[in-house]
């Protein structure tokens, strides 16, 4: 730090050095006592000056100061976006559903309730009406599975019932400091100019909901570029986000370039395993809890591979299972139906390994304590 040696004692000593020697400046004297508070305040100023220096460098700044640093390079923090989808209302024919009708994921007493509003007017015909909705609050939490939205709020609550037949999509969190810093460093260290591959990479990652992209120049011959994109959750992004990337690149690409934007292709991974409980844990944990934890950890492992490592390794999945404190050992580890071999799946360019709908199945080894 530039000013770490400028302490209160150092400042006070310098100030006392400016006082004539025929004036009493010993500790406890009037001069010493009058100058001490000023020395303390000046020392605090030097501490803040050190912080100001840190705010000026991208790697040591944060928040609005990082925004200012990135703005110098034409980068802005990706904003939060609201999830969108469609719900189906059921009830008496002729019932009108106004724009702004509110629905939610669960009763109001649930502190984790997620709220959505209709973005168009609907009318019940033949017992139902499909209406588009948008989350009231932005963020990835608004991306919910099918049949998660179950409650009508307001005057129509006693008239209609509701559900979402498909998952909602497109909700993204505000870009974090780390994510913005990574983009800034990538922008500086891998300069994108004149529509080179790095330029397409930067353009794709400027769109909310995109964490990574793969650029293939001359993908379909001269003058063509293919951009394969990956969502924030390290899975294939939604159709809406893919279209947003396509539109954004179309606005900034060089004249004459023929650009194709595609979502990454998901390669489903299904895992089943038999576990042996560590002594004393069987009564403290359930298989469902263990299965959920294994699912979460394997999801994180697969996310770490996305567009970075083309191999899903049996040994790594085994390590994920053995790292759990409740597991003593495992047997019959099947990955996509195979029980042998270290390399289970070789992921090609533009593909990403994700847990399948069936995900992880955990059972007990016979005789497990």
pLDDT value of position 329: 93
Could you read off the pLDDT of 29-48 as tens digits, one per residue?
A: 999 999 999 999 999 999 99
Q: Which two tokens stand for residue 180?
A: 């913005």
* Chain centre distance of CA 336: 27
User: 191-263 sits in which CATH class?
Assistant: alpha beta
Cα-based distances in Å from 71 to 77, 79, 120, 165, 187: 9, 14, 37, 42, 12
Tallying the residues shown for the chain, one arrives at 369
Closest CA to 330 of 273, 269, 270, 272: 273
Which of 89, 64, 229 has its CA nearest to residue 152?
89
Residue 343 above 80 pLDDT?
no
Query: pLDDT-derived band of residue 344, with 50, 70 and 90 as boundaries?
Result: low
User: Burial level of 354, CB count in 10 A (0-12/13-18/19+)?
Assistant: buried
% the chain with pLDDT above 90: 83
Which residue is listed with tokens 């495992």?
Answer: 330
Q: Is the pLDDT of residue 111 over 60?
A: no
Q: Write out the E strands in 60-127.
A: 84-90, 96-97, 102-104, 115-118, 122-123
Sorting pLDDT into bands at 50, 70 and 90, what band is 337?
Answer: confident
Provide the pLDDT confidence category of residue 341 given band limits of 50, 70 and 90: low
Residue 156: pLDDT over 70: yes
Report d(CA 118, CA 136) in Å as an integer.
10
- Kindly state the tokens that stand for 20: 């004539």
Query: For residue 359, what is the enclosing H or E element?
Result: strand 351-364
Provide the edge-to-edge strand list for the sheet that holds 161-163. 151-153, 102-104, 115-118, 128-135, 84-90, 161-163
Residue 280: C-alpha distances to residues 326, 327, 329, 364 (Å) = 9, 11, 14, 15
Q: Can you tell me the distance from the alpha carbon of 153 to that of 63, in angstroms, rounded to the nearest whole number? A: 37
pLDDT over 60 (residue 159):
yes
25-28 own/partner pairs: CB under 8 Å, 24+ apart: none
State the CB neighbour count (10 A cutoff) for residue 307.
19
Domain limits, the chain: 8-71, 84-163, 191-263, 268-364
| pLDDT at residue 242 greater than cutoff 70 | yes
Mean pLDDT, the chain, rounded, equals 92
CA torsion 149-154-160-165 (nearest 10°) is -20
């Amino acid at each position: 730090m530039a000013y770490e040696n400028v302490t209160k004692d150092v400042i006070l000593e310098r100030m006392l050095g400016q006082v004539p020697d025929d004036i009493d400046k010993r500790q406890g004297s009037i001069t010493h006592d009058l100058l001490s508070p000023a020395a303390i305040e000046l020392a605090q100023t030097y501490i803040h000056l050190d912080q100001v220096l840190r705010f000026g460098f991208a790697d040591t700044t944060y928040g609005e100061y990082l925004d200012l640093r990135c703005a110098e390079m034409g980068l802005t923090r990706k904003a939060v976006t609201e999830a969108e989808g469609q719900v189906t209302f059921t009830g008496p024919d002729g019932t009108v559903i106004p724009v702004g009708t509110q629905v939610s994921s669960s009763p109001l007493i649930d502190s984790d309730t997620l709220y959505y509003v209709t973005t168009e007017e609907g009318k019940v015909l033949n017992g139902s009406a499909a209406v588009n909705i948008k989350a009231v609050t932005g963020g990835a939490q608004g991306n919910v599975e099918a049949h998660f939205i179950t409650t009508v709020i307001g005057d129509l609550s006693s008239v209609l019932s509701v559900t979402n037949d498909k998952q909602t999509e497109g909700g993204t969190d505000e870009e974090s400091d780390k994510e913005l810093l990574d983009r800034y460093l990538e922008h500086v260290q891998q300069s994108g100019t004149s529509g080179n591959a790095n330029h397409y990479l930067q353009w794709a990652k400027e769109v909310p909901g995109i964490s990574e992209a793969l650029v293939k120049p001359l993908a379909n011959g001269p003058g063509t570029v293919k951009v394969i994109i990956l969502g924030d959750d390290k899975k294939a992004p939604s159709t809406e986000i893919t279209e947003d990337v396509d539109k954004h690149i179309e606005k900034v690409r060089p004249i004459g370039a023929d650009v194709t934007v595609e979502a990454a292709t998901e390669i489903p991974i299904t895992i089943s395993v038999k576990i042996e409980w560590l002594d004393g844990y069987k009564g403290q944990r359930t298989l469902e809890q263990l299965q959920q934890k294994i699912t979460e950890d394997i999801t994180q492992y697969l996310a770490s591979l996305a567009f970075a490592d083309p191999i899903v390794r049996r040994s790594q999945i085994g390590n994920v299972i053995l790292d759990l404190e409740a597991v003593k050992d495992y047997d019959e580890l099947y990955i996509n139906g195979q029980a042998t071999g270290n390399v289970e799946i070789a992921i090609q360019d533009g593909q990403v390994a994700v847990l399948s709908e069936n995900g992880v199945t955990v059972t007990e080894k016979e005789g497990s304590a």
